[in-house]
Structure 1
Amino acid sequence: MGIIWTIIIGFIAGVIAKFIMPGDNEPKGFILTTILGIVGAFVATYLGQAIGWYQAGQGAGLIGAVVGSIILLLIWGMVTKNRA
């Protein structure tokens, strides 16, 4: 059940992040939005553990996943902007 919950939270975080930061070059589609949210949660967990907000084995919640997803969208925007 843990992996299904992670996918659901990842999808919700990806949708919220794309709503907060809309753009023309953003990844589109259900699967990419879900992946964006899941990877955003991992980014938020890693950064939170590095800063000391989370302990080892503790993950980021929905807000952390949204923040991580927004960071990924910023990076995605910079990379695709340089390509074009």
Structure 2
Amino acid sequence: MGIIGFIIVGLIAGFLARAVVPGKDSMGILATILLGMVGSFVGGLLGSLISGDGIDFSAAGIIGSIIGAIIVLIAYNAITGRKKHA
């Protein structure tokens, strides 16, 4: 996929993850891209574990990247204590 494609997938996955997870996220475009890129690796890892291929730390496709980015964003919010609901 190349670095430009990886950045574009990261941007899309990060943006969609921020749209799906409730609450306001005050992060810029670079943080959104980074969220999507980290999510891609998390999605790839989960996909390899589910498929039974063992642990394979590689990038996922767009759907896996979005799912991974959602997981990363929820974990980040839980760890940092952001978006606590009353």
Instruction: Please give the range of the TM-score, normalised by the shorter of the 2 chains.
Output: 0.7 to 0.9
Residue of structure 1 equivalent to 2:68? 68
**Shift in alpha-carbon separation, 1:41–1:79, aligned structure 2, 3 A:** same
What is the TM-score with the length of structure 1 in the denominator?
0.81
Q: Secondary structure at the match of 1:43?
A: helix
Gaps of 5+ in 2: none
Corresponding residue for residue 36 of structure 2: 37
Identity of aligned residues (%): 40
Structure 1 window deviating more from structure 2 (14-23 vs 58-67): it is 58-67
The superposition leaves residues 14-54 of structure 1 with CA deviations (integer Å, 9 ceiling, x where unpaired) of 00110111324x45001000000000000000111112177
CA distance in 2, matches of 1:74, 1:49: 21
TM-score by length of 2: 0.80
- Structure 1 unmatched runs, 5+: none
| CA distance in structure 2 between the partners assigned to 1:57 and 1:42 by the alignment | 6
- Match of 2:50? 51
- RMSD across aligned C-alpha pairs, in angstroms? 2.5
